[in-house]
């Protein structure tokens, strides 16, 4: 499916290196077993912004440089996964649940002015989408902490999310992730 397919939503997402992303997979399985039906409804990425169009490769490179600079400020270039939190996107109405990444988010003006629709207020490495009744489950369930090691290697990419015609509307999506752009290598000053 093309990244600009009608009925789909476009995001710019941060993708951890596959070794770090793999560490989140067991956590998603535990969430699913604990009753989170949306544990496999969204990839294990951290959305930065909802955009009206896919960003060009040069725009993604500029965003990747900005994100690397943010991760370098007092953090030695590492992104650390903290306790799980939620973050909502107004349209499409999605609530993501997963470990909070300790890095600041890029400023809205970092994104192309003609593209940014909504900038996420914090970066959540998504382990599950929450449906209307799931927020109560996050407070009731005894959930393990995700075991995601700190990481420097990460990429930015365009992602298209499309609702499926069948299944539970809160959890039924297909996605496609475009060609990623690596964050520049961290250089200690």
Each residue of 18-76: pLDDT tens digit?
Answer: 888 888 888 888 888 888 889 989 999 999 999 999 999 999 999 999 999 998 887 78
Mean pLDDT of 97-125: 93
| pLDDT score at 52 | 95
Lowest mean pLDDT among 8-17, 32-41, 48-57, 156-165: 32-41
* Residue 141 tokens, joined: 């369930």
CA of 184: how far to CAs of 40, 62, 64, 128, 187, in Å? 30, 10, 7, 28, 9
Mean predicted lDDT score pLDDT of the chain:
88
Helix residue ranges per DSSP H, 34-177? 57-72, 134-140
pLDDT, residue 74, reads 75
Q: How confident is the model over 129-150, as a mean pLDDT?
A: 76
User: What's the pLDDT score for residue 11?
Assistant: 97
Range scoring the smallest mean pLDDT among 68-72, 118-122, 138-142 = 138-142
In whole angstroms, what is the distance from residue 85 CA to residue 83 CA? 7
Q: What was the pLDDT predicted at 145?
A: 75
> Does the N-terminal peptide bond of residue 92 adopt cis geometry, omega within 30 degrees of 0?
yes
* Cα–Cα dist 41/108, whole Å: 27
Assessment of whether the complete model's pTM goes beyond 0.85: yes
Instruction: Please name every residue paired with 39 in a beta bridge, in sequence order, or none if there are none.
Output: none
The reported pLDDT for the residue numbered 3 is: 42
């Amino acid at each position: 499916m093309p990244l600009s397919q009608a009925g789909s939503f476009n995001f710019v997402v941060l993708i951890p290196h596959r070794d770090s992303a793999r560490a989140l997979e067991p956590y998603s399985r535990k969430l699913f077993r604990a009753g989170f039906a949306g544990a496999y409804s969204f990839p294990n990425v951290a959305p930065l912004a909802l955009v009206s169009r896919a960003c060009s490769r040069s725009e993604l490179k500029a965003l990747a440089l900005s994100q690397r600079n943010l991760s370098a400020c007092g953090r030695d270039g590492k992104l650390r996964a903290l306790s799980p939190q939620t973050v909502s996107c107004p349209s499409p109405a999605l609530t993501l649940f997963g470990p909070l990444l300790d890095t600041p988010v890029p400023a809205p003006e970092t994104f192309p002015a003609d593209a940014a629709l909504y900038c996420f207020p914090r970066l959540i490495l998504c382990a599950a989408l929450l449906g209307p009744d799931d927020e109560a489950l996050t407070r009731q369930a005894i959930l393990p902490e995700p075991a995601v090691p700190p990481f420097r290697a990460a990429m930015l990419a365009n992602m298209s999310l499309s609702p499926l015609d069948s299944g539970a509307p809160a959890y039924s999506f297909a996605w496609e992730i475009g060609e990623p752009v690596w964050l520049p290598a961290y250089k200690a000053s």
